[in-house]
Amino acid sequence: MAKRLIFLGPPGAGKGTQAEIISENHQIPHISTGDILRAAVVQQTPLGKQAKDYMNRGELVPDVLILNLIQDRLGYEDAVNGWILDGFPRNVNQAAFLEELLAKLEQNADCVLNLEVPDEVLVSRLLARKRKDDNESTIRRRLEVYHQDTVPVIDFYQQRSTLKTIDGDRPPEEVTEQLCSAIV
């Protein structure tokens, strides 16, 4: 059976790590908007150059750039039997767009998984990654943007009864176990 999953949660919650594990277990692609964007920046594509300015300021990349990426990616052959979206949707407009896109593709999200982690734990985790764009002020700005723009997406999916919230402030193995239980 196809699994179509959406992973929500703040930066540093472990979405990418967990999505990789679930992706391997279910043999479905892990579609990370962050990875797609970082690759575009490194390759200096037109999208990458536009995205880099926003990312350097800790701002979200505009919807129109992200929406085109997602629409293209869900059309790939490997996404026919399922997928995990990691880092998308990030706001209610993107969630509504995704709902319309999936209806066009005659698909639906089976489950929306929200990883919850306290902000101070996230700041510590992100600083420990030592990425060039992860300094404390940028991290705190990203969390502000998350609370302002992405938290309403949680309500969007809660109203559709597809949301399951997972405590992401535990050892990774325990988080994986709870995620696997939630998507059965």
H or E, element range at 84: strand 82-86
| pLDDT-derived band at 176, boundaries 50, 70, 90 | very high
How many angstroms separate the CA atoms of 47 and 84, rounded? 22
Per the annotation, the verdict on 90 as an active-site residue is yes
Q: Which of 3, 4, 90, 125 is catalytic?
A: 90
Per the annotation, the verdict on 131 as an active-site residue is yes
Per the annotation, the verdict on 15 as an active-site residue is yes
Average pLDDT, integer, range 82-110 = 92
| pLDDT-derived band at 134, boundaries 50, 70, 90 | confident
Per the annotation, the verdict on 142 as an active-site residue is yes
Average pLDDT, integer, range 21-28 = 94
Q: Which of 15, 52, 73, 125 is catalytic?
A: 15
Per the annotation, the verdict on 57 as an active-site residue is no
State pTM to two decimals: 0.86
Q: Which of 131, 140, 141, 164 is catalytic?
A: 131
The 10s digit of each residue's pLDDT in 26-69 is: 999 999 988 888 888 898 988 788 889 888 888 878 888 888 78
How many angstroms separate the CA atoms of 37 and 59, rounded? 13
Q: Which domains does the chain have, with CATH numbers?
A: 3-178 (3.40.50.300)
pLDDT over 70 percentage in the chain? 99
- Is residue 32 within 8 Å of 87, Cβ to Cβ? yes
- Name the amino acid, one letter, at 113: L
